[in-house]
Amino acid sequence: MGEEVPEFGFCNTENCPPVVLDSEPQGYETLTIIGDKVYLVCGSEGIPNMSINIKVLDKQTGKWLEPVVFGAKPVASEGFSSIILDSERVLILLRESSTDNSIWFLEVDTPFVKQKRKQLGIEVVAWSKGLIGYGSKPIVISGPSGVGKGTLIAKLMKEFPSTFGFSVSHTTRVPRDKEMNGVHYHFTERNKMEKDIQDAKFLESALVHGNLYGTSIEAVEAVSDAGKRCILDIDVQGARSVRASPLEAIFIFVCPPSFEELELRLRARGTETEEQIQKRLRNAREELEQAKTAGLFDHMLVNDKLESCYQNLKKILLLDENDKSPYQPSMKSFIVPFSHSISKVDQKVLIHCGTNELSASPSTK
Ligand SMILES: Nc1nc2c(ncn2[C@@H]2O[C@H](COP(=O)(O)OP(=O)(O)O)[C@@H](O)[C@H]2O)c(=O)[nH]1
Ligand SMILES: Nc1ncnc2c1ncn2[C@@H]1O[C@H](COP(=O)(O)OP(=O)(O)O)[C@@H](O)[C@H]1O
């Protein structure tokens, strides 16, 4: 049976005592009960592009808590409604928003939220955006040394911390000054890595700029175990191997605006010796040639101005709320109408909107 959640209501079921708000409702509010907590999602009426805020009521103590909120949050123009998806997430539907901006998840007890709550010792929630189409596929990012792959990935992980997880590769290269073992790479001995490759512990591996690099199966599994979408920063040889593997991914190649600029960036980073810089520049030409192989990369991105390149990356990943880009998958678009109700039946969420009824899978993340 479906479970209806009141859109603007105040819960008064057997499992939940009456909820008394500490102030009069100002606009749109939804209440969702999960375990010992009541989640109040509120936005103020009359303010264009209302921003949505969260409060959490601890049923045991009767106290309202202000959680730390991770992730870029949705902006609603016409209100929203909500429904419990499972013990970890609440689905939030924005009214009158475009298809790609209408589905959001409030993570209240996902592995990411649990980890942050433990780290910080306070109440934590996180926003993640529902993606339609290839929303859960891993992302392979390749490109020559110094083009800005790491910088782009860091921006993505900062803006969407609960959505993306980095596949930590193994390498035999020497750590740079600020690199941490287990975070940037698993720094390892060549013999050990060669043995692990022989023992089929790696999804792919390659010799790059004179060192061995590889993606272990465990590294990719660690990301999916944390409920996140995996990002792999690997070279073109690695991208070829992953293309040939059963892992269905999106392949993105990042190009520099010019070789001169690539050289400037490599030098400005100051992490390589002159000899290493020369080797990386020589390899860059070969990588750019290889990247042209038909069917290898799905998208080519030029990293000229960092901010606009980052916005383009978000468009490819369908994360740009203002986007009307050519990357949109062919899915019948729908707008959640102002007047509707939602219910959950088995693995489907039903959106009741007058004569038409839409259904969406809750796993569209
Ligand atoms: N095939 C493969 N390449 C990797 C892996 N990890 C990193 N790389 C690539 O190795 C190259 C060198 O990486 P790194 O030494 O960190 O230098 P950077 O690219 O200049 O930051 C880059 O092209 C990375 O994308 C991996 O697990 N497998
Ligand atoms: N669009 C850009 N414009 C100027 N500098 C950039 C840009 N993107 C990245 N950088 C800088 O270039 C250097 C190399 O970037 P990095 O992310 O380390 O490259 P990669 O991971 O591809 O080797 C870094 O110092 C970074 O701050």
The confidence score (pLDDT) of residue 20 equals 53
265 is catalytic: no
Choice from 269, 276, 283, 310 to test ligand 2 binding pocket (greatest atom count within 8 A of CB): 269
Q: Give the separation between CA 240 and CA 46, rounded to whole angstroms.
A: 52
Summarised one tens digit per residue, pLDDT across range 128-151 is 887 665 567 899 999 999 999 999
The confidence score (pLDDT) of residue 238 equals 97
The confidence score (pLDDT) of residue 3 equals 37
The confidence score (pLDDT) of residue 135 equals 60
Summarised one tens digit per residue, pLDDT across range 12-25 is 444 445 555 555 54
Choice from 184, 265, 305 to test ligand 2 binding pocket (greatest atom count within 8 A of CB): 265
From the CB of 169, is ligand 1 less than 6 Å away? Answer: yes
Among the atoms of ligand 2, which is closest to the Cα of residue 144?
22
Q: How many angstroms separate the alpha carbon of residue 112 from the centre of ligand 1? A: 26
| Predicted structure pTM score | 0.72
With a cut of 50, which residues of the chain have pLDDT below it? 1-16, 25, 324-326, 328-331, 356, 362-365
Q: Give the separation between CA 185 and CA 192, rounded to whole angstroms.
A: 15
The confidence score (pLDDT) of residue 365 equals 39
280 is catalytic: yes
Considering the segment(s) 139-317 as one domain, its CATH architecture is 3-Layer(aba) Sandwich (3.40)
Would you list the domain boundaries of the chain?
27-132+345-353, 139-317
From the CB of 135, is ligand 2 less than 6 Å away? Answer: no
Under 8 Å CB-to-CB from 38, ≥6 apart: which residues?
A: 11, 16, 19, 31, 32, 56, 57, 59
The confidence score (pLDDT) of residue 8 equals 35
From the CB of 239, is ligand 1 less than 6 Å away? Answer: no
The confidence score (pLDDT) of residue 6 equals 34
Q: By the 8 A CB rule, do 142 and 250 touch?
A: no
Among the atoms of ligand 1, which is closest to the Cα of residue 214?
27
Residue nearest ligand 2's atom 10 by CA: 148
Q: How many angstroms separate the alpha carbon of residue 356 from the centre of ligand 2? A: 49
Going 97 to 154 to 238 to 269, the CA torsion angle's sign is positive
Q: Give the separation between CA 163 and CA 71, rounded to whole angstroms.
A: 8
Judged by its nearest atom, the ligand closest to the C-alpha of residue 234 is: 1
The confidence score (pLDDT) of residue 9 equals 36
The confidence score (pLDDT) of residue 254 equals 98
Residue 214: φ, ψ to 5°: -165, 155
Residue nearest ligand 1's atom 26 by CA: 214
Judged by its nearest atom, the ligand closest to the C-alpha of residue 307 is: 2
What is this model's ipTM? 0.98
The confidence score (pLDDT) of residue 37 equals 93
Buried b (16+ CB within 10 A) or exposed e, 150-189: ebbbebbbeebbbbbbbbbbbbbbeeeeeeeeeebbbebe
Q: What angle do CA 225, 229, 233 make, to 5 degrees?
A: 110
Catalytic option among 173, 240, 280, 282: 280
Q: How many angstroms separate the alpha carbon of residue 211 from the centre of ligand 1? A: 9
Residue nearest ligand 2's atom 12 by CA: 265
Dihedral class, residue 175 (left if φ above 0, else alpha if ψ from -120 to 50, else beta): beta
Q: Count the Cβ atoms, other than its own, within 10 Å of residue 270.
A: 8
The confidence score (pLDDT) of residue 14 equals 44
The confidence score (pLDDT) of residue 318 equals 83
